[in-house]
């Protein structure tokens, strides 16, 4: 199961310390202008070594498009791509060859496959999200033609949180700081917290908020294939994600229906719309034309630069002290990954909706 999507499909390959990460995108509409500079910029947002609060691994993450593009536009044929690994320090993981790292996929991969790549987690590494960012950038280029925009930002690190209402912030400020938070003051607080945690050899988690604007009504299926379920599945497939909510989410359970219901009205263009958007742009599993907004919870990074008790392949208890270059907080580099998964999901459902109508 290395393929995502129904019509717009991404199949990925590669390992953290292998030769390269790559993928094949099938179902990309023909005639879409392919802005290679934009795709590279999206990868750069995910790239390691961006600041003092991310891993110090230095990778250019230069994407090479191998097929499916001619004269600067998509041909409708599969788009193959590759990003070569150039800065692996595999020796940093030698002491983990026979040990199961706490809260990693080491044990489950070993039980499932009978073998595992101990170098940086191999296939379970977050470096695999490179392929998602490339495909997500392609999806964004297609969505741009439809007037659909996807944006995400860090809304919480530890107990430092923004208000849930994304409309209270200037989202253009998201890329102006290392943590990718649109509130400059809160951003500095988040950065200081991550630096403190890093100095302790520890890690911290948080929340990323995503917003999809310009999405037409009618995307999604009435039973299996609900749009919010697809978004949730996409987000929960990202490394370190532990939770997903859309609209008011869990906060809405303390209110009454009279407070939560989105009342229908006739808008300025005589189209049906709603006074409020507690539903988060999706009702009955189908988009209603309002902004789709959601929140994704990320756990603290599992690799700690401090001793932890664990068990080895031989079944004996031991102590593991991790080495290497690791993120003290995944949030800053996960923002573009959340955007990529949302963009692929929306484009896939848009193309599927078109294919089911005469």
**Distance, CA of 109 to CA of 53 (rounded, Å):** 29
Residue 132 has pLDDT above 50, yes or no: yes
Q: What is the DSSP string of 106-154?
A: HHHHHHHHS----STTGGGSGGGHHHHHHHHHHHHHHHHTTT-EEEEEE
Which pLDDT score is estimated for 99? Answer: 85
Q: Is 194 helix (H, G, I), strand (E, B) or coil?
A: helix
| Low-confidence winner among 101-105, 252-256, 319-323 (lowest mean pLDDT) | 319-323
- Whole-prediction pTM: 0.93
pLDDT-derived band at 267 (thresholds 50, 70, 90) equals confident
Give the tens place of pLDDT for each residue, 178-220.
999 999 999 999 999 999 999 999 999 999 999 999 999 999 9
pLDDT-derived band at 98 (thresholds 50, 70, 90) equals confident
Give the tens place of pLDDT for each residue, 268-322.
887 889 999 999 999 999 999 999 999 999 999 988 888 889 898 888 898 887 7
Give the tens place of pLDDT for each residue, 27-63.
999 999 999 999 999 999 998 777 788 876 677 899 9
Per-residue pLDDT averaged across 74-82, rounded? 98
């Amino acid at each position: 199961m290395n393929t995502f999507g129904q019509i717009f499909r991404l199949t990925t390959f590669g390992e953290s310390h292998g030769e390269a990460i790559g993928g094949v995108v099938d179902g990309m509409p023909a005639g879409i202008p392919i802005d290679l500079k934009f795709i590279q910029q999206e990868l750069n947002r995910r790239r390691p070594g961006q600041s003092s609060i991310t891993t110090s691994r230095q990778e250019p993450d230069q994407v090479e498009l191998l097929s499916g593009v001619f004269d600067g536009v998509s041909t409708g044929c599969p788009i193959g791509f590759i990003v070569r690994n150039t800065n692996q320090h595999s020796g940093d993981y030698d002491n983990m060859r026979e040990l199961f790292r706490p809260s990693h996929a080491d044990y489950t991969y070993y039980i499932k496959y009978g073998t595992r790549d101990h170098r940086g987690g191999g296939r379970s590494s977050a470096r695999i999200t490179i392929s998602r960012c490339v495909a997500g950038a392609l999806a964004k280029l297609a969505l741009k033609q439809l007037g659909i925009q996807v944006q995400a930002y860090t809304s919480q690190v530890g107990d430092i949180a923004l208000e849930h209402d994304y409309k209270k912030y200037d989202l253009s400020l998201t890329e102006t700081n290392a943590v990718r938070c649109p509130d400059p003051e809160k951003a500095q607080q988040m950065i200081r917290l991550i630096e403190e945690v890093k100095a302790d050899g520890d890690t911290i988690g948080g929340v990323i908020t995503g917003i999809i604007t310009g999405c037409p009504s009618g995307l999604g299926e009435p039973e299996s294939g609900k749009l919010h379920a697809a978004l949730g599945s996409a987000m929960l497939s990202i490394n370190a994600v532990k939770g997903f909510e859309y609209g008011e989410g869990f906060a809405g359970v303390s209110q009454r229906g009279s407070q939560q219901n989105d009342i229908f009205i006739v808008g300025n263009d005589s189209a049906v719309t709603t006074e409020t958007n507690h539903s988060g742009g999706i009702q009955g599993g189908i988009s209603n034309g309002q902004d789709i907004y959601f929140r994704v919870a990320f756990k603290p990074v599992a690799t700690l630069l401090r001793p932890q008790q664990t068990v080895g392949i031989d079944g004996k208890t031991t102590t593991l002290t991790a080495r290497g270059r690791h993120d003290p907080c995944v949030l800053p580099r996960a923002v573009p990954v959340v955007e990529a998964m949302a963009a692929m999901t929306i484009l896939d459902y848009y193309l599927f909706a078109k294919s089911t109508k005469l």
